[in-house]
């Protein structure tokens, strides 16, 4: 690796240069998560269901809009937006809807043969189990999406299973296509993807280490085993089954929440009765390792605090645990993770607000905050403003986001579409300008084989790295001047990645040099 040579500013452009922020791999990936759906599971008139669409930008919530539709949401919902941040398709695991909240063509097939106790889809339209549905973009196919969903096997089949836990499922799939119509269609549903009994909950996904494909994890029922599947440009494939550890979540494995960390290095499951099951995860091989058991805190009363969930911070260092009336944080960098537990707060019932609820499920928003739903009908979301910060510096705010509808239980089941290390892993103190704002004043040009970078004053001292598209580091330098020039005269034509890092915050730009 050579040191970049400094040159003076050259005003004449002799190359056709395209300087682009690495939109597709960082910013645009975040746009997949720009819209969430909430709603109530029952209304007196089934044709007048109440749902709310919550829309984000990169810094917060921009709108929350209420709709009256014949749609109900009980415990779970899957949402995905397009690369521009517009809601594309979503599901309550009883039907599938487009961004206008209209039913997709052939989506009725999802409900038509749906089984399960109580006829949830037929009578109310909302599926009752957590982490039971997820929608992923099919790699390299812009207008195609794959939905994974869980159901409940008929009682006769459940009796044949030697484990005989109350609710078991196979892994099902539905293919969604917008190629021929902007309204979308379900080209195939009830695909039997995996025919062995898994839980009816805790369906999760994680980006493959290659940045394009997906891992899908489905825990088996009543066994310390996990089934890993993949989604690539060629479609779905079973990958492997792995049994690890000796802790079992049963027979209440349909309660709680499971998730991967944003960096793809951890996987965790939580159920109040059985504690947290934490693993390290290799997002290249799909293998789990180093199982750790974190028992439920002793103050938890399972008759009251029986529900709950978990969520990782953007920096993947902290794990948050929702336990009904209690909210905790764990530091995964500690040797004894259980002893790192910090009680962040207990449920505040003194605010005077009505229709509040406890801490149930949590999810990381595209603005870097963690949002928390309540267990049972509530009109508020709790929020953690600075989840990368230790202890109460994380700024947990209870009943922070008012909703225009009652939200029955859950929060959207969405994977991490990006690795947050490419945006921010720092704990930024309150009252201090977010340093990512300074990256908006970065100007780059390439003239006469000289790469020139003009930075905001606050970015002095940044680390600049130049890499080829294979990830090979070509050059590195600390920037001490507002205007810095680098010679790339000896570099071949092609596409390069320019990464600027300051105080743990990174932004990557794409430089295309065509002579």
209 and 323 share a domain? yes
What does 115-147 look like in DSSP terms, one character per residue? --GGGHHHHTS---STT-EEEEEPTT-TTEEEE
Does residue 305 form part of some domain? yes
Does residue 291 form part of some domain? no
Kindly report, residue by residue over 138-167, the tens digit of the pLDDT. Answer: 999 999 999 999 988 765 555 555 455 668
Contact between 380 and 399 under an 8 Å Cβ cutoff? The reply is: yes
Kindly report, residue by residue over 249-277, the tens digit of the pLDDT. Answer: 777 788 899 999 999 999 999 999 999 99
What is the value of pTM for the model shown?
0.79
- CA pseudo-torsion sign 220, 73, 314, 141: positive
* Domain housing 481: 16-23+427-514
Does residue 422 form part of some domain? no
Nearest in space to 210 (alpha carbons), one of 419, 362, 415, 461: 419
Indicate the number of domains in the chain: 2
- pLDDT of 376 reads 80
Which segments of 178-285 are extended strands (E)?
185-199, 204-207, 214-219, 225-232, 235-243, 257-260, 266-271, 275-282
User: In whole angstroms, what is the distance from residue 36 CA to residue 321 CA?
Assistant: 21
382 and 465 share a domain? no
Spell out, as residue ranges, where the chain has pLDDT lower than 50.
Answer: 1-24, 162, 430-436
- pLDDT of 22 reads 45
210 and 152 share a domain? yes
Asked which of 416, 443, 474 is the last residue of a domain, the reply is 416
410 and 433 share a domain? no
Count of beta carbons in the 10 Å neighbourhood of residue 185? 17
305 and 368 share a domain? yes
451 and 353 share a domain? no
User: In whole angstroms, what is the distance from residue 454 CA to residue 475 CA?
Assistant: 18
Phi-psi region of 254 (alpha: psi -120 to 50; beta: other; left: phi over 0): alpha
164 and 79 share a domain? yes
488 and 395 share a domain? no
44 and 111 share a domain? yes
Partnered with residue 133 across adjacent β-strands are 149
- pLDDT of 102 reads 96
449 and 410 share a domain? no
Nearest in space to 315 (alpha carbons), one of 434, 161, 457, 421: 421
Contact between 327 and 281 under an 8 Å Cβ cutoff? The reply is: no
Contact between 270 and 255 under an 8 Å Cβ cutoff? The reply is: no
- pLDDT of 116 reads 57
448 and 412 share a domain? no
- pLDDT of 4 reads 41
DSSP code, position 82: -
What does 277-309 look like in DSSP terms, one character per residue? EEEEEETTTTEEEEEEEEPPPTT--TTTS---E
Does residue 454 form part of some domain? yes
Nearest in space to 342 (alpha carbons), one of 355, 331, 354, 353: 331
Does residue 9 form part of some domain? no
């Amino acid at each position: 690796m050579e040191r970049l040579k400094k040159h003076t500013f050259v005003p004449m452009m002799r190359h056709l240069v395209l300087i682009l922020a690495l939109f597709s791999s960082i910013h645009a990936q975040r746009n997949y998560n720009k819209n969430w759906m909430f709603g109530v599971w029952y209304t007196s008139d089934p044709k007048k269901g109440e749902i709310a669409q919550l829309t984000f930008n990169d810094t917060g919530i921009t709108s929350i809009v209420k709709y009256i539709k014949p749609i109900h949401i009980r415990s779970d919902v899957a949402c995905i937006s397009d690369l521009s941040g517009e809601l594309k398709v979503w599901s309550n695991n009883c039907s599938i809807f487009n961004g206008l909240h209209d039913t997709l063509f052939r989506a009725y097939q999802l409900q038509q043969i749906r089984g399960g106790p109580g006829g949830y889809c037929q009578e109310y339209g909302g599926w009752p189990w957590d982490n039971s549905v997820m929608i992923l973009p099919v790699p390299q196919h812009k207008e195609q999406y794959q939905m994974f969903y869980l159901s409940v096997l008929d009682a006769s089949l459940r009796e044949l299973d030697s484990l005989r836990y109350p609710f078991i499922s196979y892994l099902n799939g539905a293919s969604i296509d917008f190629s021929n119509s902007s309204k979308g269609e379900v080209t195939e549903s009830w695909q039997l993807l995996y025919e062995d009994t898994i839980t009816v909950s805790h369906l999760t996904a994680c980006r493959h280490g290659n940045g394009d494909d997906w891992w899908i994890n489905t825990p088996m029922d009543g066994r310390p085993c996990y089934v890993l599947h993949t989604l690539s440009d060629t479609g779905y494939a079973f990958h492997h089954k792995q049994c690890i550890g000796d802790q079992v979540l049963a027979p209440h494995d349909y309660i709680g929440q499971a998730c991967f960390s944003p960096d793809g290095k951890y996987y965790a499951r939580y159920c109040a009765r059985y504690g947290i099951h934490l693993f390290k995860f290799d997002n290249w091989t799909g293998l789990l390792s180093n199982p750790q058991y974190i028992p439920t805190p002793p103050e938890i009363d399972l008759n009251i605090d029986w529900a709950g969930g978990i969520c990782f911070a953007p920096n993947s260092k902290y794990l948050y645990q929702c336990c009904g009336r209690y909210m905790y944080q764990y530091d995964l960098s500690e040797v004894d993770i259980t002893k790192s537990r910090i009680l962040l707060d207990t449920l505040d019932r003194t605010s005077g607000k009505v229709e509040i609820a406890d801490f149930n499920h949590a999810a990381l928003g595209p603005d870097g905050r963690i949002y928390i739903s309540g267990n049972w009908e509530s009109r508020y979301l709790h929020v953690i403003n600075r989840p990368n910060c230790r202890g109460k510096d994380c700024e947990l705010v209870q009943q922070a986001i008012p909703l225009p509808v009652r939200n029955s239980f859950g929060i959207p089941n969405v994977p991490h579409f990006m690795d947050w290390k490419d945006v921010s892993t720092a704990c930024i103190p309150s009252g201090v300008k977010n340093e990512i704002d300074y990256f908006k004043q970065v100007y780059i040009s390439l003239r006469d084989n000289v790469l020139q970078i003009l930075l905001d004053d606050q970015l002095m001292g940044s680390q600049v790295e130049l890499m080829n598209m294979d990830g090979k580091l070509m050059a590195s330098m600390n920037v001490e001047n507002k205007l810095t020039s680098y010679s790339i005269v000896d570099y071949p034509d092609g596409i390069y990645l320019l990464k600027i890092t300051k105080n743990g915050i990174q932004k990557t730009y794409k430089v295309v040099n065509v002579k």
